[in-house]
Amino acid sequence: VATLDDFERDHAIEGVAQDLVAQADTALYQAKANGRNRVVSLS
């Protein structure tokens, strides 16, 4: 059984949020580079 204290849990959540924003930023710039009205999906 593994447990996380509040600090570790909050740090883990912050890391996930930062990764999500970074991926969204990457997709945005890829879509802009491809021209108007484009959608980019990252997985």
Per-residue pLDDT 10s for the chain (43 aa) are: 666 677 777 778 888 888 889 999 999 999 999 998 888 887 7
Contact 28, 14 (CB under 8 A): no
For residue 41, what are the contacts with CB-CB under 8 A and spacing of at least 6? 27
**H runs (alpha helix) in 1-43:** 6-34
Q: Which residue has the tokens 């447990």?
A: 3
Residue-level pLDDT at 34: 93
Query: Which residue type occupies 27?
Result: A
Residue-level pLDDT at 13: 81
